[in-house]
Structure 1
Amino acid sequence: MIQQIYPSPTHSFQYELNKDLQFAAAHFVPHSEAGVCQQVHGHTYFVNITIAADELDDSGFLVNFKDIKTLIHNRFDHRILNEDSLFSNDHANDFPTSEVLARKVYEIIQQYLDTRKNAPKCLQIFLRETPTSYVIYRPKEARGS
């Protein structure tokens, strides 16, 4: 795993958890301006997920690291992203670009967090597609400040 200091979102929560993970996946961007990315190709994605809350759960966790890995790794590893129901080949907001993938990872994580009694919030998704290219997704409603 790449060792890196990630940009940190500003918040007022007492606890902050960061989970790094990686998965290998293929995709293509179905748009004429995507150039060579219109062709099926793959990446080893590196993801850092930032979660925060003021309370721990009954087991003393903000959230279990294993649960976060299972949600993302099991869904995307060794898959073709375009075939996942989260993505569409018809609407730019749902093309499997890095920007959209970061938002979709957020949506998966936050949907899970919404079931937790301690009310954790996903504050940031940092998604690296290549060694030189990454995106950050920060939902406006989760800023906590």
Structure 2
Amino acid sequence: MIQQMYPQVFHDYQYELNKDMHVSAAHFIPHEDAGTCRNVHGHTYFINVTIAGDELDDSGFLVNFKTLKKLVHGQFDHTVLNDHPAFQSGRSDDFPTTEAVARKICEMIQEELDRLPGKPVCLQVFVRETPTSYVVYRPKKVKNNG
């Protein structure tokens, strides 16, 4: 695996966890300005998730890596992103662009994190669509447990 450095998120939490994943998925952008991306095509998305918090769970984890992989890889790998309800609102900000994919992953992960006793937060989701193009999504309002 190639080691990659990511844009850094500055925070005051004691722990920061990063999880890398690959997801192979197809999509199309249903808008005339998308050019050839209006056609169904696929990518091997490279995803990095940054989570932070101050409290570890009973197993000594901030978040179990397996949980994150199941959430993201388990839902999106080898699928057509347009088929997922998250991308079917018809609103342009929900078209499965790299920007929306990063945002949806962040929202999905945060929903799961909110169920955990330590209330960790998803600070950043990095999604590389091609070797030369990537998006970083950071939610504007992040809960501060401290």
Q: TM-score, normalised by structure 1?
A: 0.96
Give 3-state SS (helix, strand or coil) of 2:70's partner: helix
The CA distance in 2 between the partners of 1:97 and 1:15, in whole Å, is: 30
Tell me which amino acid in the other structure corresponds to 2:75. Answer: R
Asked if 1:43 is matched to 2:46, the reply is no
Q: Which runs of 5+ in 1 are unaligned?
A: none
The answer to whether the 8 A contact 1:23-1:73 is kept is yes
Q: Which runs of 4+ in 1 moved over 6 A?
A: none
Structure 2 CA distance for partners of 1:124 and 1:143, relative to 1, 3 Å: farther
C-alpha deviation, 1:88, in angstroms: 2.1
Identity %: 59
Q: Which runs of 5+ in 2 are unaligned?
A: none
Tell me which amino acid in the other structure corresponds to 1:130. Answer: T
C-alpha deviation, 1:2, in angstroms: 3.5
The CA distance in 2 between the partners of 1:2 and 1:38, in whole Å, is: 31
Asked if 1:33 is matched to 2:33, the reply is yes
C-alpha deviation, 1:3, in angstroms: 1.7
C-alpha deviation, 1:142, in angstroms: 1.7
The answer to whether the 8 A contact 1:10-1:143 is kept is no
| Aligned residue pairs, count | 145
Give 3-state SS (helix, strand or coil) of 2:23's partner: strand
Asked if 1:96 is matched to 2:122, the reply is no
Report what 1:86 is aligned to.
86
C-alpha deviation, 1:19, in angstroms: 0.2
Q: TM-score, normalised by structure 2?
A: 0.96
Give 3-state SS (helix, strand or coil) of 2:87's partner: coil
